[in-house]
Amino acid sequence: MRPWLYITILAAAAGSQLGATDCGQALRDSGFDLWCGDTLCAWKVERGDIKRVPTWNEGDSGVELVGSDVAIEQLSPVTSSDGTCLEVDMIANVDDDADVELDVDISDDGTIEHSERVPTSHWKPLTYQIAIAPPFSGVRFEIAKTGTGTAQLANIGAKVVDGCGGILPVVQGPAPLGEPCIDGTGCASGLCAPSPLPTPFDDGTSVTQVCVACTGDAACGTGKACAVTDAVSPVRAAPVECVAAGSKGLGDQCSEGAECATGICNAFACSTCSETSPCADGETCGASWPTPFGIYTAYVCSPGGHVRTTGEPCAQNADCKSGTCIATGVRMQCDDGRACATAADCPFVNLQNGPCNLVGLEGGTCQ
Amino acid sequence: MSRISLLAACALCGTAAAQPAPTPIATYAIVVGSNAGGPGQTELRYAEDDARSVGALLVELGGYTAQQVDVVVHPTPDQLRDRLARLGERVTADLAAGRQSRVFFYYSGHARAQAIDLGDAELPLSELRQRLFQVPATLTIVVLDACQSGAFSRIKGAEPAADFSFSSREHLDAAGVAVLASSSGSELSQESEQLHSSYFTHNLLVGLRGAGDENGDGEVSIDEAYRYAYHQTLLATAETAVGGQHVTFEADLKGHGEVALSFPRAATAAIVLPPQLEGQTLVEDKRAHAVIAETYKARGAAVRIAVAPGEYEVIVRSGATLSRCEVDASGAVELDHCRSEPIVASTTKGGAWLSPNRISVGLIVGPERQDGYTANLQAFGYVEQGLAPASAGISIAWLRRIDRRIWVGAAGSYVGMPSWKETVTGENASQKLAWSTAALAAVARGEQPFAASGIASRFAAYAQIAAGLGIGRTVLTNAQAMTYDDNYLGPAFSAGAGLRVQGPHLHPLGLEAGYEFDYAPVIKDLIGDTHASGGHRVTLSLTYSF
């Protein structure tokens, strides 16, 4: 593909991910209404136990944090592009003997940047406002309870509002790789550069800068390449860091050919052919697996044409003359090309993680 | 239209003679009654019975033979034309033979400004007058019972715009013509379910039976009959919703002297109400269980009421006491053998009003009251649905009149309140609360008409309160499509006011529009708040009186 075509496609792909919040609402199932058996569907129990309890009506459920050390959490895709002021509404029934805190982890790096104590309350609405210094991408909300008293929650809504009225913004610590940045001072790595791939927080109109570990192969030294690696959070971009040159297999996400064992990076995936490295013997270069926009998939010669011989790389059985492609596993990836194991690894659309799709075989070799 | 009861009494047998003895003057009577109304008119109940009663009284006490009284019930215009034509031929023949004639014409039924209604057909008044004038009688007496309105009573007509009685009188006013009309020009005539007659005809008949015999000469002249009918009809109708009904009389009887309409002295039986008796008095035929006469008997003079031989009881209501008195063989009321009993409220109230019952069906609409319960719903993420959320429902009520302005009864209502919905963020799911409140309550209402009679009397202002039992219901459908249905009981209160208008032509239908504030603290949540269903409401009701 030509570079201009990539840019157009990337812009379209990034634009399609806009609207990570739901009309300004940053948390899914803020009312604890969705239960999958005995656990919440949209919230993750970090520790301890929970149980379903009635609230104002027998049919409207809330969650009780059972025990003396319990925590539930949910990662919100809210970014500084959505707004920098969050208004948190909460309805809770909290005894004197229970200590409940609302913790805020900006960018999902495991560091709690801000905590609010939930006071003793009997189903009275509480409202907090939290200002967060931009840029940021993603906030993990954690509700933790200690103590023996009852703590029941009926609703916790986080909504992006226009302004926090002068509240001092929470500044996150040194940003991890893949987090948006303005310059290197906010990054743990000290480096801030345009992301070589679309990010979960791109607005589709400009290339977002993210914290990176390197800005070129030269910085990585001999035998290494500055490459994108597997994403660690659905709210952050795939990290850019030094990897061994040629260490990526067919179909792995890439930004340049040096990363790939084949030496060819086509449509952001390690490939065996491209416009500049065409197939021999009249074979055509094509996507090994159908994907949106025809990107994030390996380009191979005669895909599905049963022409690859023993030992040649393959993405599906139909690539091989023998009809058998021996692989180390199946390749699963999100719509933005990042590798995933489950949907929870994929960037959000409307507060829900995007799909984790099967896109062929991983590490395949024709028999 | 107006009911006309034309009672044309053939001239009385005229003379001041003491007995209805055979007379050289020929006497004829045509007595017409028709219950049927024209299009849009309510059928009368007693017009034909009234005609029969008038005909019977003419034979019993008026000096007529049965052959001389032609009772015509429910005629067609052609049938009435035929009767009048035959009457004209007979009177003309009498005139040719040198005999004077007297004609009594009575009509009871529906009428319009220009015609009397005989079922679906009409007989123009001009034609009726012309045909009556063509009869060359020496003396003609016409009695018109024209009912023009009646909110609580059955009515016999409906067009107060034109005064049939008056216009008829104008046309019939001539030498030897007298016209007795049941009401004045702007009034409507009424029937009474209690009397099983129209007020006017009943009182006219009672007067002719002797109650109207002021001078005690044993005869009831047309003047005496008029005065009695005037006072008694006005008294009886003063407290009806329609208002007082004034009987009118005009005559040109020059040369005829005192004209007697009946001769109660000639009756074979009579009841004598003694001088000391005072109060509203009913004479009841014990065998027929029918009220023969109702009159207000003043202290000071005896009143003799001619009746057919039979067994009677006299009931006198005076103050708070009801006395039932036996009548001895001579017709005297035995005041010493009266059984007195207190008037029970229900008898007094229930029996005093025409159409004392009313049912109504109405619509209720207004914003639902906001309180702690609804604040909780908002706090839990619910949003009231609708661009202009409003509660709406229906009400049904039954009221009974117990006093001039007081009604009591029972009411039921069902109001659906605006639903509330919580959208589950990030999901294509929601939770919805549908709720409603029903109430059963006792109602007390005060009602004040804007006038005692006329068009304004059809309009009234009212205020009412209600208290009873409220039944609330909530149905919550949660995000996983499970339904939770709960019912609650509690008190329900309501207070309101409004305007009422009775339907045109005194139709039993009416319309009410008003405001009310409903308050039913019934629906409770699990966290300690109660919703008082209700709030400011606008009401619109259709009523039916009976």
Q: How far is CA B288 from CA B184, B193, B337, in A?
A: 34, 16, 22
A301 occurs within a structural domain: yes
Burial A222-250 (b: 16+ CB within 10 A, else e): eebbbbbbebebbbbbbbbbbbebbbbbb
Q: Write down the pLDDT at residue B216.
A: 84
Beta bridge partner(s), residue B191:
B198
* Token digits of residue B93: 């023949």
Q: Do both B37 and B182 map to the same domain?
A: yes
Partner residue opposite B379 with nearest CB, options A22, A125, A351: A125
Decide if B457 contacts B447 (C-beta within 8 A).
no
Q: Give pLDDT tens digits for A166-193.
A: 889 999 889 999 999 989 998 999 999 9
Domain annotation covers residue B532? yes
Is residue B102 located within the same domain as residue B28?
yes
pLDDT for the residue B295: 82
- B426–A25 C-beta distance less than 8 A: yes
Q: How, if at all, do strands B139-145 and B101-109 pair? A: parallel
Q: B183 pLDDT exceeds 50?
A: yes
The CATH number of residue A147's host domain is: 2.60.120.260
Give the nearest partner residue to A56 out of B427, B480, B526, using CB atoms. Answer: B526
pLDDT band for position A2 (50/70/90)? very low
- Asked which of A161, A181, A201 is the last residue of a domain, the reply is A161
Residue with tokens 């639903």: B419
Average of pLDDT values for B8-28?
48
Of B381, B426, B479, nearest to A22 by CB-CB distance is B426
Residue of B nearest to A76 (CA): B426
Average pLDDT over residues B233-237: 79
- Asked if residue B500 lies in contact with residue B459, where contact means CB atoms within 8 angstroms, the answer is yes
More confident residue, B253 or B3: B253
Q: How many CB pairs under 8 A join A and B?
A: 95
Answer whether B486 sits within 8 Å of A154, measured CB to CB: no
* B380 contacts A60? CB cut-off 8 A: yes
Residues B99 and B142 reside in one and the same domain:
yes
- Domain final residue pick, B317, B348, B379: B348
Residue of B nearest to A351 (CA): B426
Chain A contact set for B525 (CB, 8 A)? 56-57
Contact B176, B127 (CB under 8 A): no
- Whether B217 and B339 map to the same domain: the answer is no
Nearest chain B Cα distance for residue A127, angstroms: 10
Is B2 within the bounds of a domain? no
More confident residue, A160 or B133: A160
Higher local confidence (pLDDT), B128 or A249: A249
Task: Please tell me if residue B424 touches chain A, with a CB cutoff of 8 Å.
Answer: yes
Q: Do the domain assignments include residue A181?
A: no
Domain stop point among A96, A126, A161? A161
For residue B75, which phi and psi values (nearest 5 degrees)? -80, 160
List of chain B residues whose C-beta atoms are within 8 Å of the C-beta of residue A55: 380, 526-527
Q: Which of B371, B377, B425 to mutate to probe the A interface, most A CBs <10 Å?
A: B425
B363 shares a domain with B323: no
Q: Mean pLDDT of all residues in chain A?
A: 89
Q: pLDDT of A109-150, one tens digit each?
A: 999 999 999 999 999 899 999 999 999 999 999 999 999 999
The helix (run of H) or strand (run of E) holding residue A14 is helix A3-15
pLDDT 10s digits, A230-285: 999 999 999 999 999 999 988 999 989 999 999 999 999 999 999 999 998 889 99
Confidence category of residue A76, pLDDT binned at 50, 70, 90: very high
Give B-chain residues touching A125 at CB under 8 angstroms: 379
User: Is any Cβ of chain A less than 8 angstroms from the Cβ of B487?
Assistant: no
Contact flag A57-B425 (C-beta cutoff 8 Å): no
Beta-bridge partners for B464: B445, B496
pLDDT at B24: 64
First CA to last CA distance, chain B: 22
Among candidates A58, A155, A350 on the partner chain, residue whose Cβ is nearest the Cβ of B380: A155
- Tell me what pLDDT residue A261 has: 92
**Assigned domain for A79 exists:** yes
Pick from A70-84, B80-94, B152-166: least confident: B152-166
Q: What phi and psi, each to the nearest 5 degrees, are found at residue B122?
A: -125, 155
The per-residue pLDDT for B150 is 26
pLDDT in tens, A342-353: 999 999 888 889
Reply yes or no on whether the pLDDT at B17 is more than 60.
no
On whether residue B493 sits in a domain, the answer given is yes
Q: Which residues of A touch B379 (CB under 8 A)?
A: 89, 91, 123-125, 155
Query: How does pLDDT run across B262-310, given as a tens digit for each residue?
Result: 988 888 888 888 888 888 888 888 777 777 788 888 888 888 888 888 8
Which residue, B321, B348, B375, sits at the end of a domain? B348
Confidence of residue B344 (pLDDT cuts 50, 70, 90): very low
How many domains are there within chain B? 3
**Range name among A131-135, A346-350, B138-142, B427-431 with the lowest pLDDT average:** B138-142
The answer to whether the CB atoms of B426 and A57 lie below 8 A apart is: no
Chain A residues in contact with B530 by the CB 8 A cut-off are none
Kindly state the tokens that stand for B124: 């123009």
In a domain, A303, yes or no: yes
pLDDT, mean of residues A29-56 = 93
Where is the domain boundary, B316, B331, B348? B348
Q: Decide if B427 touches A, using CB distance below 8 A.
A: yes
Looking at the complex, report in whole angstroms how far the Cα of residue B475 sits from the nearest Cα belonging to chain A: 9
For range B142-147, the mean pLDDT: 72
Tell me which of A6 and B334 has the higher pLDDT.
Answer: B334
Termini Cα distance of chain A: 30
Is residue B480 less than 8 Å (CB to CB) from chain A? yes
Residues B198 and B279 in one domain: no
B484 closest CB neighbour out of A30, A57, A157 = A57
Q: Do B426 and A28 touch (CB under 8 A)?
A: yes
Is the predicted pLDDT of residue B152 greater than 50, yes or no? Answer: no
Q: A interface toward B at CB cutoff 8 Å?
A: 22, 25, 27-31, 33-35, 42, 54-61, 89, 91, 93, 122-125, 154-155, 157, 350-352
Q: What whole-number percentage of chain A has pLDDT above 70?
A: 93
CATH number at residue B255: 3.40.50.1460
The model's pTM: 0.60
Q: Which of the four pLDDT bands, split at 50, 70 and 90, describes residue A204?
A: low
Q: Domain check: are B248 and B285 in the same one?
A: no
Tell me how close the Cα of A156 comes to any Cα of chain B, in angstroms.
9
- B residues 357-416 near A, CB within 8 Å? 376-377, 379-381
What is the per-residue pLDDT for B294?
Answer: 81
Of B292 and A101, the structure prediction assigns the larger pLDDT to A101
For residues B367 and A267, what is the distance between their CA atoms, to the nearest angstrom? 60
Indicate whether B214 and B305 sit together in one domain.
no
B116 & B140 share domain: yes
Cα gap B503→B151, rounded to integer Å: 9
Rounded CA-CA distance B65/B21 in Å is 11
- Residues in chain B with CB shorter than 8 Å from the CB of A91 are 379-380
Q: What is the CATH number of the domain that holds B390?
A: 2.40.160.20
Interface touch B381/A157, C-beta < 8 Å: yes
Residue B193 backbone dihedrals phi, psi, to 5 degrees: -70, -25
Range with the poorest average pLDDT among A35-44, A322-331, B33-42: B33-42
Q: Are residues B309 and B200 in the same domain?
A: no
Strands B26-34, B101-109: pairing is parallel
Residue of A31, A56, A122 lying closest to B424 (CB–CB): A31
Q: Is residue B454 pLDDT above 70, yes or no?
A: no
Chain A residue with the nearest C-alpha to that of B432: A60
Helix (H/G/I), strand (E/B), else coil: B122: strand
Judged by CB atoms closer than 8 Å, whether chains meet at B484 and A58 is answered as yes
Domain assignment present for residue A297? The answer is yes
Residues 6+ apart with CB under 8 A from A346: A234, A334, A335, A336, A338, A340, A353, A354, A355, A356
Give chain B positions within 8 Å (CB) of A124.
379
Cβ distance A352 to B426 less than 8 Å, yes or no, reads: yes
Decide if B214 touches A, using CB distance below 8 A.
no
Minimal Cβ distance to A31: which of B381, B474, B483: B381
| Rounded Cα–Cα distance for residues A265 and A261 (Å) | 10
Give the pLDDT confidence score for residue B241 in this predicted structure.
57
* Residue B118 at interface with chain A, using a CB cutoff of 8 Å: no
B327: CATH: 2.60.40
From the list A33, A122, A124, the residue facing B479 with the nearest CB is: A33
Whether the pLDDT of residue B20 is over 80: the answer is no
What is the total count of domains within chain A? Answer: 2
Q: Is A306's pLDDT higher than 90?
A: yes
Residue A217 lies in a domain: no
Q: Å from B471 to nearest chain A CA?
A: 18
B119 and B189 housed in the same domain: yes
Q: Where are the beta strands (DSSP E) in B301-371?
A: 303-307, 312-318, 321-326, 339-342, 357-366
Residues of A within 8 A of B429 (CB-CB) are: 33-34
Query: Could you tell me the residue range of the domain that residue B24 belongs to?
Result: 7-266
- Residue B422 touches chain A, beta carbons under 8 Å: yes
Give the model's confidence band at A206: pLDDT under 50 very low, under 70 low, under 90 confident, else very high: low
- pLDDT range class, residue B253, cuts 50, 70, 90: low
Query: What is residue B319's predicted lDDT score, i.e. its pLDDT?
Result: 63
Q: What pLDDT, on the 0 to 100 scale, is given for residue B320?
A: 56
Q: Which amino acid is at B317?
A: R
Residue B481 C-alpha from the chain's centroid: 58
pLDDT of residue B184: 61
Within-domain flag for B247: yes
CA distance B44 to chain A (A): 60
Verify that B215 and B320 share a domain, yes or no. no
- Domain of A90, in residue numbers: 35-161
Supply B46's token pair. 């007693």
Residues of A in contact with B486 (CB under 8 A): 57-58
- Which residue reads 């157009």 in tokens? A8
Q: With beta carbons under 8 A apart, name residues in chain A contacting B483.
A: 59
User: Is B252 a member of any domain?
Assistant: yes
How distant is the Cα of B478 from the closest Cα of chain A, in angstroms?
Answer: 6
| A22 contact residues in B (CB cutoff 8 A) | 425-426
Asked if the structure places residue B1 within a domain, the reply is no
Domain end call among A127, A146, A161:
A161
